[in-house]
Amino acid sequence: MKRSRTSKAWMREHLTDPYVQMANKEGYRSRAVYKLMEIDERDHLLKPGMTVVDLGAAPGSWTQVVAKKISSAGLLIALDILPMEPVHGAKFIQGDFREDAVLSQLEAALQGRPVDLVISDMAPNISGIGLSDQARSMHLAELAMEFSCQHLKPGGNFLVKVFQGDGFDDFVREMRARFSQVQVRKPKASRGRSTEVYMLGKGLHGQEKEILPAHK
């Protein structure tokens, strides 16, 4: 009964959410699109002709925005463990980012092109066990950062969703070791009660900068 009441309350909130209503009206696949839009408006991350990797892309609202912004001159690779309806201008790979075979597919799709921007909205399936969920969330963020450091061109940018909690401070320190600027963004579309924030790393250091091992 409690779960049923909780589900009904969530659905009621979801249907009356102004960002959900706006996304439906404007043809975007989820309310999350407005998080990326606000960050891009502030930080000017997306430009025509860029090479972008979108991790945790489904259902594809971020992919929709990126594809429009980088235009046909750019290259956009989107990846998610879940299926996703095609987005014009994006190549989609379905698979688990934690698996080497899937990572190899992603690397092959880049065709050796250095990446301008990696965006990651990945999050684990929530078990309800706080410490476990936080650990799995931080692990995904660390994997996304490792990928970014290996594939971004020097000076490239990295935007990643993280949840404040155990491991967060260590993650921020590692980002500061790898990027010239590191900023925390909490878009208006992020629900106030959520510990979700977006970490933005600007200006990946060149290879002469020592890369610290990821925190495990």
CATH of the domain at 188: 3.40.50.150
Cis preceding linkage at 59, omega within 30: yes
Q: Do the domain assignments include residue 45?
A: yes
pLDDT for 193 equals 77
The total domain count for the chain is 1
Residues assigned a catalytic role: 161
Assess if residue 194 is contained within a domain.
yes
**168 falls within a domain:** yes
Residue 193 belongs to domain spanning: 31-204
Whether pTM exceeds 0.85:
yes
Burial of 209 (0-12, 13-18, 19+ CB in 10 A): middle
Does residue 187 fall inside a structural domain? yes
Contacts 24+ apart (CB under 8 A), 80-87: 80/55, 80/56, 82/58, 83/58, 84/57, 84/58, 84/59, 84/60, 85/29, 85/59, 85/60, 87/60, 87/63
Specify the pLDDT at position 142.
Answer: 96
Residue 12 lies in a domain: no
Q: Name the pairing type of β-strands 152-163 and 179-185.
A: unpaired
209 within a domain of the structure (yes/no) = no
In a domain, 16, yes or no: no
Looking at residue 176, its pLDDT comes to 97
161-192 pLDDT, tens digit per residue, is: 999 999 999 999 999 999 999 999 999 998 77
- Answer for the pair 140, 124: CB distance below 8 angstroms, yes or no: yes
Residue at 164 is within a domain: yes
- The torsion of the CA quartet 23, 28, 29, 32, rounded to 10 degrees, works out to -60
